[in-house]
Amino acid sequence: MQAFLKGTPSLGPKPQKSKPTAGPSGEKRQKPVPWVEKYRPKCVDDVAFQEEVVAVLKRSLEGADLPNLLFYGPPGTGKTSTILAAARELYGPELFRQRVLELNASDERGIQVIREKVKNFAQLTVAGTRTDGKMCPPFKIIILDEADSMTGAAQAALRRTMEKESKTTRFCLICNYVSRIIEPLTSRCSKFRFKPLSDKIQEERLLEICEKENLKCTQEGIAALVQVSEGDLRKAITFLQSAARLTAGKEITESIVTEIAGVVPCKMIDSLLQTCYNSTFEKMESSVKDLIDQGFAATQILNQLHDSVFEDERLNDKQKSAIAEKMAEVDKCLADGADEFLQMIALCSVIMQQSSQNN
């Protein structure tokens, strides 16, 4: 142990060594931040698609009569970004640190913290001017991100604090599941629902990033990114960054995106269905084995089969409903840890059986 501790100081010079090499190399040293942070909206106007929220928020910001806020909606739709951008606009970069207290699920937010940290911060009074002489609202903002993970007791402790400190403090609660916020808190806040972003908006943002990062990406590639991320722009941007790393300057195509996202190529799903409809049990078994051997997750195959089967005009409603029932069963079994290959075979057998009844 002692020897180990003695040995550690030799690690000291290492970071120093790397410093001079990193310093002069780039005139404008770019911080290595993930793209989701790099392209986080800087002002409220940059927030795309959430028009109602932005409109109400902007009017409140102008009038300095901001209510307590509650933002809710699915992941990656701009909740955290919106309040951070609004706070930065209100206070400017300098005052921001003094006036805004951000607590998220990574911080201890039990009842003790609400009683001490939040209450103490809320009780401080503040002036109505900024250091640069501009006016700013005479209150502070406490952001409680991921508030749905706060205990009921901690939420209850907030109730009275929220009312008592309303002269000096505004609260902004952010969560994915609004039903997990206790009723007395929701009734003290203006609620804003964040919608999953539309395909068009996501496409625009992704194209913008491609342009800024000098990436080449085909139209189908962008469409695939949007499709796999299901309204979550953060997911789409993260996939785009991985794809950019993988291609290293070459064009990003649909196949690369599907590869990264672990999506089964449509052709393979189609051919599996084709086999179920027209071929023998042995062939079906071998195509399922093939898919599983390639490492595709059974839940992913199931989801895609679900979409394809329901769009398929060769099956009638009765057949589709029988297949859907089996799909639900297989889904449950997979969630319980059943064997992927056997479950897929079971599902495909039902598809086979149902489609043969048609003829």
Ligand X SMILES: Nc1ncnc2c1ncn2[C@@H]1O[C@H](COP(=O)(O)OP(=O)(O)OP(=O)(O)O)[C@@H](O)[C@H]1O
Q: Using the rule CB under 6 A, is 240 a contact of ligand X?
A: no
Q: In whole angstroms, how close is the CB of 159 to Mg ion at the nearest point?
A: 23
Residue pair 110/152 in contact (Cβ under 8 Å)? The answer is no
Q: Using the rule CB under 5 A, is 80 a contact of Mg ion?
A: yes
One residue of 68, 69, 79, 296 binding ligand X per CB under 6 A? 79
Both structure tokens of 259: 């590869």
Q: In whole angstroms, how close is the CB of 195 to ligand X at the nearest point?
A: 9
Among residues 204 and 331, whose Cβ is nearest to ligand X? 204
Subset of 16-55 contacting ligand X (CB under 6 A): 36, 39-41, 47-50
Give dist(CA 157, CA 97) in Å, integer: 25
Using the contact rule CB under 5 A, the part of the chain among 19-27, 72-80, 152-160, 347-355 near Mg ion is 72-80
For 79, half-sphere exposure in the C-beta direction (CA atoms, 13 angstrom radius) is: 27
Q: Using the rule CB under 6 A, is 241 a contact of ligand X?
A: no
Give dist(CA 61, CA 137) in Å, integer: 8
Among residues 68 and 77, whose Cβ is nearest to ligand X? 77
Give dist(CA 138, CA 126) in Å, integer: 6
Please give the residue whose beta carbon sits closest to Mg ion in the complex: 80
**What is the amino acid identity at position 324?**
A
Using the contact rule CB under 6 A, the part of the chain among 61-69, 70-78, 111-119, 278-286 near ligand X is 70-78
DSSP code per residue over 245-304: HHHTTSPB-HHHHHHHHTPPPHHHHHHHHHHHHHS-HHHHHHHHHHHHHTT--HHHHHHH
Alpha carbon 45 to chain centroid, angstroms: 20
Both structure tokens of 166: 């309303």
Pick what 36 binds: ligand X, Mg ion, none; C-beta below 5 to 8 Å, kind-dependent.
Answer: ligand X
Subset of 161-190 contacting ligand X (CB under 6 A): 176
| Site size for ligand X (CB under 6 A) | 21
**Residues found near ligand X in the complex (CB under 6 A):** 36, 39-41, 47-50, 75-81, 176, 197, 205, 233-234, 237
**Residues found near Mg ion in the complex (CB under 5 A):** 80
